[in-house]
Each structure stands twice: as structure tokens, then as C-alpha cells.
Amino acid sequence: MRLLYRIGLVTQALLYVAAGMNHFWHTAMYVAIMPPHYAHPVGLVQISGVAEVLGGIGLLVPWSRRFAAWGIVAMLVVYFDVHIYMAMHADRFATIPVWLIYARLPLQLLLIAWAGVYAVRPSERQLP
């Protein structure tokens, strides 16, 4: 179980570092999915990219792991607004399959639960 915990931790950390870097490599793609009620979408995309990179790195550092995990949870909750906007206006995102737009909503819940695993103190976890 501890091996699975560590594999999940490293995998999640790498996922967020890569996803965060992707905000800079493909900024226009992220700006295109931002709901119009947000001012300064480019800045928000860049800030969220930095947050994802820092969250991923923070997961790997024992003293910052819980804080980073809670930050990732909060970030993913905020991202629901983008996913709901996309679902409500799927016709505006013709290049993205509709099933994928809707699949992102439950996926977000799974990602929140996954980050939550690392937000709990080891002494509070039930590891064999």
C-alpha cells in the first residue's frame, strides 16, 4: 500500500507540473475556454499554470505536501466554473468532443479525491 501511495504521489506531482507548464506552452487554448465573465484571462491562465507547477512540486516536499494538496483541491474546485461553462456552451467548443466536455466534470471530482489523499496527515491515514 505504501508503494502505491508513493507511486500515486509522484504521478500526481508530475501531472500537475506538466499541466502547469502546458498553460505556458498552449496559453491560447486555455484562454479560449475561459468564461467571458473573467477579466484578464491570459493572466489567470498564467497564474493557474504557476499554481499547478508549485502544487506539483509541493507534493514532493514532505513539509509542504499537505498545504500543496489542499491548494490543489481548492484550485480544482475553482476550475469547476470553467468546466460547467464549457458544458453549458458546448457548441462554442466544436473542436472538443461533447463527451469529453462532460467527462471532465466527474473527472474533476476524482482528481479532487486523489489530491485529498495527500492532504491528510500520515497518522490519520489507514495504511497497513
Range with the poorest average pLDDT among 85-89, 91-95, 118-122? 118-122
User: In whole angstroms, what is the distance from residue 4 CA to residue 70 CA?
Assistant: 20
pTM score over 0.85: yes
Residue 79 inside a domain? The answer is: yes
C-alpha cell at 26: 498552449
| Counted domains in the chain | 1
Q: Is residue 15 one of the residues assigned to a domain?
A: yes
pLDDT at 94: 87
Average pLDDT over residues 47-58: 97
CA–CA gap between residue 125 and residue 121 (Å, rounded): 7
The answer to whether position 44 is within a domain reads yes
Give the domain range for residue 107: 2-118
Q: Is residue 50 part of a domain?
A: yes
